[in-house]
Chain A
Amino acid sequence: MSLTENYFQLFDLEEQYCLDENALRATYRELQRKTHPDKFAEAGKHEQMLAVQYAATINDAYDVLTSPLKRAIYMLQLRGVELDEQGSGLMDPAFLMEQMELREELEQASHANNPEAALEKVTEHLDTELDALQADFKAQIERDDTEAAVETVKKMQFLVKLETEVEHLAHELLSD
């Protein structure tokens, strides 16, 4: 069945890092229209369970394909490189220095006069760096430099983890 296909095939896409988000979303909607359990509310139990499986797989595929980090990890996985989502391993010192600076910026943001605005700045900073890493990854994967691509993904993981912390802080500010 088509669920065994890889996620790019499932969405009828070329296996490449840059995706057209609008087209992806349109395909997602059409696929859900065909498989969502709501279409099978009156069908037998087996068919309902099947629909849950299909729709769940399509949801997962969409989640992976729309997330720049998950998509990168997935592409490496298709090339036989297993990376866990937590991230690990050593990185170049310059990058680590930058991370420490960002972390400091984050620390200060939570004590700033206008913490929301300060957090917003950190987020912008992170976004710029992530954009650059995504461009790196795209180039590396296109020239089949898996080793370099792995290093880039590890850096992405670092930044995304930091981004999660920013989100966490932002939510805490809101729930005070």
Chain B
Amino acid sequence: MALLQLSEPGMTPMPHQRKLAVGIDLGTTHSLVATVRSGTAEVIADHQGRNLLPSVVHYAPGQILVGYEAREKAVKDALNTIISVKRLMGRGVEDVATFDHRMPYHFAETEGAGMPLIETAAGNVSPVSVSAEILKVLAARGREALDGDLDGAVITVPAYFDEAQRQATKDAAQVAGLKVLRLLNEPTAAAIAYGLDQEGEGLIAVYDLGGGTFDISILRLQAGVFEVLATGGDTALGGDDFDRAIAERMLADSGYTGDVTPQLSRELMEKARSIKEQLSGQDVVAAEVKRGDFCWQGEISRTEFEALVSPLIERTLKVCKSALRDAKVKAKDLTNVVMVGGSTRVPYVRRRVGELFGCEPKVDIDPDLVVATGAALQADVLVGNRSSDDMLLLDVNPLSLGIETMGGLSEKIIPRNATIPIAKAQEFTTYKDGQTAMAIHVVQGERELVADCRSLARFELRGIPPMVAGAARIRVTFQVDADGLLNVSAKEMTTGIESSVTVKPSYGLEEEQVTQMLKDSIAHAREDVAARQLREKQVDAQGLLISIENALAENGDALLNVDERKAIEVALDRLREVAVGDDEHAIAREIEKAGQASNEFAMRRMDASIKEALSGKSLDAINVEKEE
């Protein structure tokens, strides 16, 4: 059926040029990539037809293995085989020390409290670079299946991921050479995959229990808009913990008193996972583990397993109740409960969740594939292959953001569950006469005391003119973008002195480090770094040219006078000229200038489209747009 094509400001109507985009689910135990082909989202399998890629990376001198091959080394070479790296993302050395269970790796001694570095046979690796290895394999899968370079990717993160964890994920994508279209929350991705927008209106709960993380999101769906009302979770609770409960039971049962070596620990966990999976289908499983002096032989029944994991499930249910309260809805008002994540295969989990929400949870889509599928659908919209009029996601900030005030208290600036993007400002003042600098400490979390919150970043505003205490007016603005990433700026209002930072957590990576890692990894692939960067700039320039040209053609006449139009066209000509050349810096400069030159025009188009939206709001919005 031929559909009438309508363009919107900001959209590039290029019907002939389908863009290549993928959705990636970067999971704790496994990862996968999906894309939209002929209107349907599908997971891209490897050459053996396997959809999932175990999130396991093995390091040997001069060789990196990812996936199944790496998992085979997990027991034999535990120290060089990194599993569940997602649990380390955005975490500091001091966080890792507080984990409930020890990880087998040797962490390198780093100066101060930085990002934990794992010692391997191939040198020290950071969680970001381990994740990047996984992403590279998935990106290659996408390129091969789509037969071309990817225009962008949507990467999913747990809804309850904090700022540091999100930033680490984005850094990993950058190191892997991917253009991140959006970081998308996993439960939201699942809601899209279920095509619930086709059902019209409703209240949806998405219960997402993965290998290492738990999320619950409550969404309202109306007229194709998914509005997240509340989200909650636990970024350190998942199916791994079910396995651990079984492994600990085997260990206790065996009466073994010797050392639990990394190899033994891995083997117990592997066996536990297999027992758990079998118990989904049978009532009792007999098993045996032998390694060195350790020997255990026995049976685990389903009832026993359920008793072991019951406290863990209980924890998730309490989080669900909290989320319902935050969303101001009752369990009985929900129209759909969607189950996501491999751990929801456990029948006991389904039963308990069903009891809480008083309805049969939806499990039609394979819980391992649903998130990547949703991410692919969103990626397709974001690159412009599908009109964003069909579907819009309004997500929230999962944890309150604030700054430290006198007495070590956290003053919340952006509350949790606030719809993003969001910008909020608050004014603070000096407490000493003649104070000329102010330290700003950004924290995330719900607790009153800064010490109980997560420290995100510290920066200083300098050059405040000396005044009596309380006279200066420092306005601190927090802006959270659609990826859930924070930008903080501070301005002294009486003088206009400004200071701004993109929040980079102390245990995160600096911009240069990311670039360096990218360079290293490209060098590894024997590709020319400069050529690649130039190509990227050229692509950016082409994209900008097309988008502004289209905008001019569409409403340049209506919104610009001759001179204004001329100024934009001149900037575009200059950009066009340098874009075919090989001066990367000149292209970057002209991109910036063209952007500036058309800023006012962009603003007018935005205003015009708002007016249009308002004038059409009482009628069927779609009909009105078609008539125009």
Within 8 Å CB of B127, what residues of A?
none
List of A residues within 8 angstroms of B325 by Cβ: 167, 170-171, 174
Pick the contact of A47 from B10, B321, B382, B616 — CB < 8 Å? B10
Q: Which B402-426 residues have a C-beta within 8 angstroms of A?
A: 418-424
B544 interfacial by beta-carbon distance below 8 Å: yes
A111 at the B interface (CB under 8 A)? no
Q: Are A56 and B479 also in contact (CB < 8 A) when A29-B392, A41-B181 are? A: yes
| Pairwise interchain contact B383-A50, C-beta atoms closer than 8 A | no
Among A31, A47, A52, A171, which residue has the most Cβ atoms of chain B within 10 A? Answer: A47
Q: Which residue of B lies closest to A54 (CB)?
A: B606
- Provide the bound-state CA to CA distance between A41 and B182, in Å: 8
The answer to whether the Cβ of A113 comes within 8 Å of any Cβ in the partner chain is no
Chain A nearest Cβ from B333, distance in angstroms: 16
**Is residue A118 contacting chain B, with contact meaning CB distance below 8 A?**
no
**Which residues of B (446-505) have their CB < 8 Å from a CB of A?**
479, 481-482
Q: Within 8 Å of chain A (Cβ to Cβ): is B614?
A: yes
Residues A42 and B222 in contact, CB atoms below 8 Å apart: no
Q: Decide: A36 near B481, CB < 8 A? Known: A30-B614, A42-B12.
A: no
CB distance from A164 to the nearest CB of B (A): 11
Please provide the chain B residues from 70 to 109 with a CB less than 8 Å away from any CB of chain A in the complex. Answer: none
**B607 and A2 contacting across the interface, CB-CB below 8 Å:** yes
Bits for B1-25, please: 1 = Cβ < 8 Å to A, else 0.
0000000111110000001000000
A47-B547, A56-B421, A56-B422 known; A30 and B479 CB under 8 Å? no
Q: From A33, A44, A175, give the contact of B595 (CB < 8 A).
A: A44
In the complex, which residues of chain B have a beta carbon less than 8 angstroms from the beta carbon of A59? 418-422
B318 A44 Cβ-Cβ under 8 A: no
Task: A32 to B610: give the CA distance in the assembly, Å.
Answer: 9
Given A12-B617, A38-B393, A46-B599: A1 and B421 within 8 A (CB)? no
Cα–Cα, bound, A21→B591 (Å): 43
- A29 touching B422, Cβ below 8 Å: no
Count of chain B residues near A, Cβ 8 A: 61
Query: Is there contact, CB below 8 Å, between A39 and B10?
Result: yes
Query: CB-defined interface of A84-110 with B at 8 Å, one 1/0 digit per residue?
Result: 000000000000000000000000000
When chains A and B are docked, how far (Å) is the Cα of A68 from the Cα of B387?
Answer: 35
Which of chain B's residues have a CB closer than 8 A to the CB of A36?
388, 392, 394, 482
Q: Do A32 and B318 have beta carbons less than 8 Å apart?
A: no
Chain B residues, CB < 8 A from A31: 610, 613-614
Q: Which of A38, A171, A175 contacts B182 (CB 8 A)?
A: A38
B358 contacts the other chain (Cβ, under 8 Å)? no
Is B602 engaged at the interface, CB distance under 8 Å to the other chain? Answer: yes
A35 interfacial contact with B, CB 8 Å = yes
Chain B residues whose CB sits within 8 angstroms of the CB of A41 once the complex forms: 152, 181-182, 382-384
Contact A40 B423 (CB under 8 A): no
Q: Are A33 and B392 in contact (CB under 8 A)?
A: yes
Which residue of chain B has its CB nearest to the CB of A175?
Answer: B318
- Residues in chain B near residue A161, CB distance under 8 A: none
A50 to B, closest residue via Cβ: B602
- Distance in Å: Cβ of B589 to nearest Cβ of chain A: 13
Q: Is A25 an interface residue (CB 8 A)?
A: yes
A45 within 8 A of B: yes
A60, B382: Cβ atoms closer than 8 Å: no
A4–chain B nearest beta-carbon distance, Å: 10
**In the complex, chain B residues 188-214 whose Cβ is within 8 Å of any chain A Cβ:** none
Instruction: Give the total number of A-B pairs whose CB atoms are below 8 A apart.
Output: 148
Q: Judging by beta carbons under 8 Å apart, are B421 and A52 in contact?
A: yes
Interface residues of A in 157-174 (CB under 8 A from B): 167, 170-171, 174
Complex Cα gap A107–B351 (Å):
36
Let me know if B602 and A55 touch, CB within 8 A: no
> In chain A, residues 1-50, which have Cβ atoms closer than 8 Å to a Cβ of chain B?
1-2, 10-12, 25-27, 29-47, 50
Contacts of A62 in B (CB 8 A): 419
Contacts of B596 in A (CB 8 A): 46
Question: Per a CB cutoff under 8 Å, which of B321, B422, B544 touches A174?
Answer: B321
- With a 10 A CB-CB cut-off, give which of A33, A40, A41 has the most chain B CB atoms: A41
B594 CB–A CB distance under 8 Å: yes
Q: Nearest Cβ in chain A — how far from B226, in angstroms?
A: 11
Check A51 for interface membership: any CB of B closer than 8 A: yes
Give the contacting residue for B225; candidates A10, A33, A60; CB below 8 A.
A33
Q: What distance in Å separates the Cβ of A167 from its nearest Cβ neighbour in chain B? A: 7
In the complex, the answer to whether B383 meets A174 with C-beta atoms within 8 Å is no
A56, B128: Cα distance in complex, Å: 30
Q: How far is the CB of A129 from the nearest CB of chain B, in Å?
A: 18
Report the bound CA distance from A164 to B222 in whole Å.
Answer: 28
- Cβ–Cβ contact A43 & B322, under 8 A: no
Question: Are the C-beta atoms of A55 and B421 separated by less than 8 Å?
Answer: yes
Q: Which residues of B contact A45 (CB under 8 A)?
A: 591, 595
Given contacts A12-B614, A26-B617, whether A42 and B543 have CB atoms under 8 Å apart is yes
B611: chain A residues within 8 A (beta carbon): 2
Let me know if B322 and A174 touch, CB within 8 A.
Answer: yes
Q: Chain A: which residue is nearest B11 at the CB level?
A: A39
Q: Which residue of chain A is the closest to B598 with respect to CB atoms? A: A46
Closest chain B residue to A25, Cβ basis: B222
Distance between A27 CB and nearest chain B CB, rounded to angstroms: 5
Q: Is B223 an interface residue (CB 8 A)?
A: yes
B594 / chain A contacts, CB cutoff of 8 Å: 44
Q: How far is the CB of A77 from chain B (nearest CB, A)?
A: 15
Q: Which of B319, B388, B591, B602 contacts A33 (CB 8 A)?
A: B388
Closest to A55 in B: B421
Q: Is B621 an interface residue (CB 8 A)?
A: yes
B603 within 8 A of A: yes
The answer to whether A1 touches B603, judged by C-beta atoms less than 8 angstroms apart, is yes
* B366 touches A (CB below 8 Å): no
Complex interface residues of chain B between 10 and 58 (CB less than 8 A to chain A): 10-12, 19
B272 to chain A, nearest CB (A): 28
Known A30-B614, A33-B225, A60-B424; 12 more pairs at CB < 8 Å: A12-B614, A30-B613, A30-B617, A39-B388, A41-B152, A41-B181, A42-B383, A43-B544, A44-B594, A52-B421, A52-B481, A174-B325
Q: Name 18 A/B residue pairs within 8 A (Cβ), A-sorted.
A: A10-B610, A25-B222, A26-B617, A30-B613, A32-B394, A34-B613, A38-B388, A38-B392, A39-B388, A41-B384, A44-B598, A50-B599, A51-B606, A53-B423, A56-B479, A57-B423, A60-B422, A60-B424
Interface residues of B (CB under 8 A from A): 8-12, 19, 152, 181-182, 222-223, 225, 318-319, 321-322, 325, 381-384, 388-389, 392-394, 418-424, 479, 481-482, 540, 543-544, 547-548, 591, 594-596, 598-599, 602-604, 606-607, 609-614, 616-617, 621
A contacts, CB < 8 Å to B: 1-2, 10-12, 25-27, 29-47, 50-57, 59-60, 62-63, 167, 170-171, 174-175
Which 9 residue pairs spanning A and B have beta carbons closest together? A46-B595, A41-B382, A30-B613, A56-B423, A34-B609, A37-B482, A44-B544, A12-B614, A40-B10
